[in-house]
Amino acid sequence: MIAIPRQKPIFRFAPSPNGPLHLGHALSAILNHDMAREAGGRFLLRIEDIDQARCTPEFEAGIFADLAWLGLTWEEPVRRQSLHFPAYQTALQSLIARGLVYPAFQTRGEVKARVAAGEARGDPWPRDPDGTPLYPPDDRLCSDTERKRLLDAGLKHAWRLDMEKAIATVGAPLHWHENGDGETGEIPADPRAWGDVVLSRSDAPSSYHLSVVVDDAAQGVTHVVRGLDLFHATSVHRLLQALLDLPQPLYHHHRLVLGEDGKKLSKSQGDTGIAEWRRQGWSPSELRRRIGL
Return residues touching ligand GLU (CB under 6 A).
14-16, 48, 212, 226, 230
Q: Burial, 242: exposed, middle or buried (Cβ in 10 Å; 0-12, 13-18, 19+)?
A: buried
Q: Taking the complex as a whole, how short is the minimal distance between the CB of residue 146 and ligand GLU, in angstroms?
A: 36
Name 11's bridge partners: 43, 223
Whole-angstrom Cα distance, residue 158 to residue 206?
Answer: 10
Residue among 226 and 232 whose Cβ is closer to ligand GLU:
226
Q: Taking the complex as a whole, how short is the minimal distance between the CB of residue 69 and ligand GLU, in angstroms?
A: 19
Residue among 102 and 251 whose Cβ is closer to ligand GLU:
251
Residue among 15 and 195 whose Cβ is closer to ligand GLU:
15
Residue among 221 and 242 whose Cβ is closer to ligand GLU:
221
In sequence order, which residues have a C-beta less than 8 Å from that of residue 114 and are 6 or more positions away?
106, 136
Q: Taking the complex as a whole, how short is the minimal distance between the CB of residue 212 and ligand GLU, in angstroms?
A: 5
The answer to whether 92 and 101 have CB atoms below 8 angstroms apart is yes
Q: Burial, 219: exposed, middle or buried (Cβ in 10 Å; 0-12, 13-18, 19+)?
A: middle
Residue among 16 and 248 whose Cβ is closer to ligand GLU:
16
101 Cα distance to chain centroid: 19
Beta-sheet pairing, 158-161 with 198-200: antiparallel
Whole-angstrom Cα distance, residue 221 to residue 208?
Answer: 16
Residue among 115 and 174 whose Cβ is closer to ligand GLU:
174
Q: Taking the complex as a whole, how short is the minimal distance between the CB of residue 209 and ligand GLU, in angstroms?
A: 9
Whole-angstrom Cα distance, residue 115 to residue 154?
Answer: 26
Q: Taking the complex as a whole, how short is the minimal distance between the CB of residue 55 and ligand GLU, in angstroms?
A: 10
Q: Taking the complex as a whole, how short is the minimal distance between the CB of residue 46 and ligand GLU, in angstroms?
A: 8
